[in-house]
Amino acid sequence: MNDLFGVRRWGLVALLASVFLLAAVAAANASHPMVQPDGDRMHWSDNDPSFPRGYVFWQDQTGAEWPVFSSAVQWDRASRLDAVYVTGSCTSNHCVTVREADLDPGCTGRLGEVLHVTGPAGHYFSATEVRIDAQCDARSAADRRELVCHELGHSTGLDDRPSNTNTCMRSGDMVGEQFPDGHDFEVLLFSYNHDDPG
C-alpha cells in the first residue's frame, strides 16, 4: 500500500506547514529536502535496471504556455536524477502527472501544488501529481517558468527556499527566477546518492 500523507498546497495557505518543515530540517543539516514524518528524505528510487540513477517521468498534460519541457531539462542536470518528459501515456511506475488546475482565481499567489505520494525509504509513487494554476492569466512568461520549475522541483523532493535566494525554489511572490541553483542540486545529490535494492 502506498502511504498517502496528504496534499501540500504551496502558497499562502501552506505557509505554516512549510515554515515548520524548514525549521525542523534546518536544525538537522542546513538543507532543504522534503522529509517524511519518519525522517526519510523523499526521492525517486533507482530500482529499475534501465535506470542506474533515481528517475522521474513528468507526464505533461498542460497547455503550450506552460514550460514543462524546459523546466524538466533543467532538473535533469541533477547528477543522480534522470528526468524523462512525456506528453502521451506513461507506463512507468515513476510517473508524475503535470496538469492545470483552478487554484488561484484571484491571482493572489504562486500558485501550484504537489500531491506527494511516498512510501518506505521515502520513495515516491506514480500517484504523485503536480497541479499548476490555470486561473490567473496575468503572469509573465518568466513567472510561469518560475512556477513550473518550482513545482517540478517539489516533485523531486526539494522543499521551499527563502524568498531572497536566486532559485526557482524560492518562496514568496514570483520574481521570474526561472532556474534551480547550485544548492538545489547539492540537496538532490545528497538525497539521491545511493543505490536502492531491487
Stretch that binds Zn ion, among 80-88, 124-132, 158-166, 177-185 (CB under 5 A): 158-166
Per-residue binder mask for Zn ion (CB under 5 A), 124-143, x = binder: --------------------
Residue of minimal CB distance from Zn ion? 10
Q: In the window 105-124, what residues touch Zn ion (CB under 5 A)?
A: none
Question: Any idea which residue has 547539492 for its cell?
Answer: 186
Q: Is 48 in the site for Zn ion (CB under 5 A)?
A: no
Q: Is 160 in the site for Zn ion (CB under 5 A)?
A: yes
8 Å CB contact between 59 and 86: yes
Stretch that binds Zn ion, among 71-79, 137-145, 154-162, 176-184 (CB under 5 A): 154-162
Q: Is 146 in the site for Zn ion (CB under 5 A)?
A: no
Helices 68-75 + 141-154 axis angle, to 10: 50
Residues that contact Zn ion, how many (by CB under 5 A): 4
Q: Is 196 in the site for Zn ion (CB under 5 A)?
A: yes
- Please state, in angstroms and rounded to a whole number, the distance separating the CA atoms of residues 88 and 90: 7
- Please state, in angstroms and rounded to a whole number, the distance separating the CA atoms of residues 20 and 85: 32
Selected binder of Zn ion within 10, 57, 75, 125 (CB under 5 A):
10
Number of H helices, E strands in the chain: 4, 6
Q: Is 40 in the site for Zn ion (CB under 5 A)?
A: no
Alpha helix (H) residue ranges in 53-176: 68-75, 141-154
- Please state, in angstroms and rounded to a whole number, the distance separating the CA atoms of residues 16 and 18: 5
Beta-strand relationship, 112-118 and 81-86: unpaired
Stretch that binds Zn ion, among 9-17, 78-86, 87-95, 180-188 (CB under 5 A): 9-17
186 vs 196 by CB, closer to Zn ion: 196
Q: Is 45 in the site for Zn ion (CB under 5 A)?
A: yes
How many CB atoms within 10 Å of residue 63? 11
Cα 53 to Cα 43, 72, 91, 148, 169: the distances in Å are 11, 16, 18, 23, 22
Least distance CB 18 / Zn ion (angstroms): 7
Which residues here bind Zn ion, judged by CB under 5 A? 10, 45, 160, 196
